Structure 1
Amino acid sequence: MEVETKGRDPNSRDNNDGELKLGGNIVLVGFSLDPAEMIVVKKIVGHYAKKISEQTDYSELKVRLKQSKKAKSFLHELDVNVNTSGGILTSSKEDKNLYSGLSDALEKVYNQAIHKS
């Protein structure tokens, strides 16, 4: 008997508090998006997680999304926290485009990791 996951990635774990764990040390909070949007989000986060791990060892990369409706579109508020042995790297970004905002916020954290190493 096969279980249908209805757009969910069977390799991801979703907690009751809205946290979606990817692998062992990546956490997405507030990402209740369409499956197609989640694929792009996971690719962006995974790309930057790899780049950050090449610069520093981290125990957790957490990305929080808060969406607010502004007129006919959404404003995406993104917060990124990376726990490293040398401290916590943080970044925030507000953007109408989820993907560019996510990339910008993760790029800021990546640049912090470069300068701390």
Structure 2
Amino acid sequence: MIELGGNINLENFEDVDRGLLIVIKKVVGNYTKKISEKEKDFKKITVTLVKDSKYKIKVELETSETKKSESENPNLFFALDRSLSEFLD
């Protein structure tokens, strides 16, 4: 697991290309900032890359309650965007 800033966890991203991981961290960080501004009781977000899948992403948002989203796409960034943007709707 990769921990970013204490309130962001990336699970199963250890084997992702280093260049891609830099972009993933920025995308997740930007979304987390927007989500934490919207969700006043924001505690933590966990983004999981499901092993043995073609970019299936699961996101768990911890606030006063736990919210979850999931997305799968052959493009990792589309899957990441779709699963994180659900918390901003």
TM-score by length of 1: 0.70
In the alignment, which of 16, 33, 43 is matched to residue 26 of structure 2?
A: 43
Deviation, 1:21, is 0.3
Instruction: Confirm or deny that 1:65 pairs with 2:49.
Output: yes
Deviation, 1:109, is 2.1
**Quick check: 1:58–1:83 contact (8 Å CA) kept in 2?**
yes
Q: Distance in 2 between matches of 1:48 and 1:95?
A: 18
Q: Secondary structure at the match of 2:50?
A: strand
| Structure label with greater radius of gyration | 1
Deviation, 1:110, is 2.4
Q: Secondary structure at the match of 2:27?
A: helix
Stretches of structure 1 lacking an aligned partner (at least 5 in a row): 1-18, 70-74, 112-117
Query: Quick one: higher RCO (CA 8 Å, sep 6+), 1 or 2?
Result: 2
Q: Distance in 1 between matches of 2:29 and 2:78?
A: 15
Percent identity over paired residues: 37
Deviation, 1:67, is 4.1
Question: Which residue of structure 2 aligns with residue 105 of structure 1?
Answer: 83
Structure with more helix by fraction: 2
Aligned length: 87
In the alignment, which of 57, 80, 90 is matched to residue 59 of structure 2?
A: 80
Q: Distance in 2 between matches of 1:76 and 1:67?
A: 8
Calculate the aligned-residue CA RMSD, in Å. Answer: 1.2
Q: Which runs of 4+ in 1 moved over 6 A?
A: none
**Quick check: 1:80–1:109 contact (8 Å CA) kept in 2?**
no
Paired amino acid for 2:6:
G
In the alignment, which of 7, 24, 37 is matched to residue 54 of structure 1?
A: 37
Residue pairs, 1:11-50, within 5 angstroms: 19-31=1-13, 32-50=15-33
